[in-house]
Amino acid sequence: MLKLRHALPLALLLAASSSFALESFTRPIIGSLSATPNPAKPGDTVTFRVDPSQNGKIDCGLLVTYGNGQQEQIAVKQGFPKEFTHVFDAPGKFTVKVEGKEFDGMNNCKGEATTTVAVQGVVAPSCPTGWELIKGSTKKNGAFSCRAAQPAELPRCSSGLKGYYQNGVIGCK
C-alpha cells in the first residue's frame, strides 16, 4: 500500500504521462491560417503558417486551395505549426483554404481555416517630364527604364550647321 506522501507525486506523474500519451496519439486540429507578407506583390514568395486549436503528434494530410486555381497536398509530420510557401503571379484577392485531406496512407488533419491574401498590382511606370518609357523595359516586379524624349523641335543652329537628335542627345553639326 502506498503511503500518503507518495500519492501526490504519483498522481502528478500519471496526469503528465496521460497528457503526453493523449497528444502522442491524437490528430492535430487546424486552428488558424496566416500569410506573410500580406499584402504581397506578384512574384513574391508568400509564407503560410497553420497553427493548431489542439495539437497532436499523429502525421496527417492537408489540402491547400490557393484561390487562383492551384491546389497542393501537404504532409504534416509530428503536429503543428506547419509552414509552406506559394507564389502568386497576378494581382488580386485570393481566399486560401487549408483543410484535412487523406493521402499517401495518412489520415486527414481535422478542421479547416481560411485567410485572404491581397496581391497588389504593380504601379504603372511613370517617367518624368521630358523623358519617355523605353518600350519593352517594364518588368514583372515594376522595374522600368526611361530615356530622354525626342524634343518637339531641334535646336536653332548657326549657318552651315544642322540640328540633330540621336540617342537622347540633341545638338548642331
Q: What is the DSSP string of 49-106?
A: EEEEEE---S-EEEEEE-SSS-EEEEEE-SSS-EEEEEE--S-EEEEEEEEE--BTTB
Domains of the chain are 27-119 (2.60.40.10), 122-165 (no CATH)
Q: How far is CA 150 from CA 131, 154, 163, 165, 170, in A?
A: 8, 9, 12, 7, 8
pLDDT in tens, 143-155: 888 888 877 788 8
Nearest to 60 by CA among 117, 21, 115, 112: 112
pLDDT in tens, 57-104: 889 999 999 999 999 999 999 889 999 999 999 999 999 999 999 999
Which position has the higher pLDDT, 3 or 59? 59
Q: What share of the chain is helix, strand, coil (3-state, %, to 5)?
A: 10, 40, 45
Tell me the range of 5-14, 23-32, 50-59 where mean pLDDT is highest. Answer: 50-59
Q: pTM above 0.85?
A: no
| Separation CA 40–CA 84 (nearest Å) | 16
